Amino acid sequence: MPIATPEVYAEMLDRAKAGKFAYPAINVTSTQTLHAALRGFAEAESDGIVQISTGGAEFLGGQYNKDMVTGAVALAEFAHIVAAKYDITVALHTDHCPKDKLDGYVRPLLDVSAERVAKGLNPLFQSHMWDGSAETLADNLAIGQELLAKAAAAKIILEVEITPTGGEEDGVTHEINDELYTTVDDALRTAEALGLGEKGRYLLAASFGNVHGVYKPGNVVLRPELLKDLQEGVGAKYGKAAGSQPFDFVFHGGSGSTAEEIATALENGVVKMNLDTDTQYAFTRPIVDHVFRNYDGVLKVDGEVGNKKVYDPRSWGKSAEGGMAKRVTEACANLRSSGTKLK
């Protein structure tokens, strides 16, 4: 069962929360990067999450028509086949989708899974993300209610981002400022609108100073201890036992985070952490090394014929897969998911 069923995905998230670890959620843009993610999980003996952003889906759809739904469905179907060869369980997820792309991405994908479920099959994706961080919180949560109902009907978990994450992700940009911190009031309004599981399960991307991309030390101030305040504030209002954690949190903009910041986030209910920037670099770096070492072979310099063995995409593609897989295994270790795969 390499692609998680809805029940198994829920079990994965429950185990992560109880065990104080999180799953790396690896953005993929090709069959190669998909294999790199799967290989990294397998080598770490960790289950995990593979995700496709709107930009990634557009790229996968081909540059002729750049159709996001085609690209996402195609890679998901491919994943259902090839993941069977890996001794781990993975969930398929779609990353950041803003309001203007819902009709061209998440809503059609929810329909695809709803049709599958109506036929007695499992959904194609296990979760989808609605990124309403550019909207007012009221509008964000109103759309979230609609999407959560559709997701629950299709046996899918919804991820919501209620307040901005800094930096840039697939064209969605937020400044790095004091607005990058979710308040207890934001969390209470979210619980009131979306419930705490009774309306459908969801993952919550709260902001505690997170920034997409890579920044030098000192430019980003993370406060993962804020997540504890959100858990306790909502728990107190809804009568949860002391120490309980109502929310399943997602850590966005985690590239370059310290071990201490990650550990604090895990203790406070983070079950999923997105990785894209670091794995992009880990994939590309071996390709650059290959080109520099084989310059006269990958190019037909001064009228020569080059060297087919080194410009064959397989020659550098294998190294790229290995480089990214290694970074995924490191992420599993950092998030304490190594060796925790479902038996």
* CA neighbours closer than 13 Å in the CB half-sphere of residue 52: 31
What pLDDT is stored for residue 215 in this prediction?
56
Residue-wise pLDDT tens digits, 55-71: 999 999 999 999 999 99
* Structure tokens belonging to residue 51: 């995700």
pLDDT in tens, 165-216: 544 545 544 444 456 789 999 999 999 999 999 999 999 999 998 775 555 5
Q: What is the pLDDT of residues 141-167, one digit of tens each?
A: 999 999 999 999 999 999 999 986 544
Mean pLDDT of the chain: 93
pLDDT given for residue 174 in this prediction? 42
Query: Residues with catalytic annotation?
Result: 95
Q: pLDDT for 90-129, tens place per residue?
A: 999 999 999 999 999 999 999 999 999 999 999 999 999 9
Q: How far apart are CA 31 and CA 125, in angstroms?
A: 16
Identity at 187, one-letter amino acid code: A
Does 308 score more than 80 pLDDT? Answer: yes
Residue 124: φ, ψ to 5°: -70, -45
Where would I find the H helices in the chain? 6-19, 31-44, 54-60, 68-82, 106-118, 137-153, 184-194, 226-237, 259-267, 277-293, 295-298, 308-311, 313-334
Count of CB atoms situated within 10 Å of the CB of 296: 12
Percentage of residues in the chain having pLDDT higher than 90: 85
DSSP state of 293: H
What are the pLDDT digits (tens) for 82-100?
999 999 999 999 999 999 9
pLDDT score of 218 more than 60: no
121 beta partners: none
Q: Report the phi/psi class of residue 197: left, alpha or beta, with left for phi > 0 and alpha for psi in -120 to 50.
A: left
16 confidence band (pLDDT: 50, 70, 90): very high
Q: What pLDDT was estimated at residue 167?
A: 46
